[in-house]
Structure 1
Amino acid sequence: MAKTPEQNNEAAPNQQVDTRIAAVRDLIFGENIQRYDSEFADVYEKIETLKNQSNHSLAEAVTNLENKLSDLESLVDHKFQDLNDDLDKKLADLDDEKADRRKLGKALEKIAQMLQE
């Protein structure tokens, strides 16, 4: 629906009143609004700085944790290898002890035969 010239005329005085109100508002509150805008800009800048610092700290923490996990994995692998080597050595010693038992058994058999003679 198109506006009639009467509606356009009503809008023009409203705009003039709005413009006047804005001018009075700027005169009364202009300095305060500029100060608030400046303070908000400072707050937003500080928030952005803290956000960047937090992201940087988080990235460093993640890197640090990854390094520590890698070190822990290395240590566990090393300990596992040491335990595996110890187990292999103990098994070899056990086999040797079993061999010694066999020798001992044979020696006892010989002694028993000698006693029977």
Structure 2
Amino acid sequence: MAKNTEHNNETIGNQQIDNRIAAVRDLIFGENIQQYNSEFQEVSNKLKALQGETKKNLEDSVSHLENKLADLESLMEHKFQDLNDDLEKRIADLDDEKADRKKLGKALEKIAMMLQE
């Protein structure tokens, strides 16, 4: 029982010393610690703002790219339809003129060249 009382007294004494050390530390470094905390908070807020801005920019870029791809897809579909219509017209013209295979071959070569451009 005496050991417990001595141990409790030591613990209380150590806590008092720790409290005194903490009080001295706060007196000496308290202003600097508050300044550092304030600066860290500012940096943290700036990082959060930059993260939000970056996320918004990324979402805008993805949306812009998706729109551009949709426009390109539409343009390509329109171009292929035009080429298909032109091919059908030329085939019809060849049938009407009873043209030979050389004319058909040249027309197909021309269309192939247009597709490569």
Q: TM exceeds 0.5?
A: yes
The residue type equivalent to 1:86 in the other structure is: D
| Aligned residue pair count | 98
Deviations 1:70-94 (A, max 9, x none): 1011001101101110111111112
Q: Name 2:77's counterpart in structure 1.
A: 77
Instruction: Determine the C-alpha separation between the residues in 2 that align with 1:57 and 1:74.
Output: 26
Instruction: Determine the C-alpha separation between the residues in 1 that align with 2:81 and 2:4.
Output: 93
Considering only aligned residues, what root-mean-square deviation do their CA atoms show, in Å?
1.6
Q: Name 1:6's counterpart in structure 2.
A: 6
Q: Does 1:51 align with 2:51?
A: yes
For structure 1, the 5+ residue unaligned runs are: 102-117
Q: Percent of aligned positions with the same letter in both sequences?
A: 62
TM-score (norm 2): 0.78
Task: Please say which structure displays the higher CA radius of gyration.
Answer: 1
- Secondary structure at 1:4 match in 2: helix
Higher relative contact order (CA 8 A, sep 6+): 2
TM-score (norm 1): 0.78
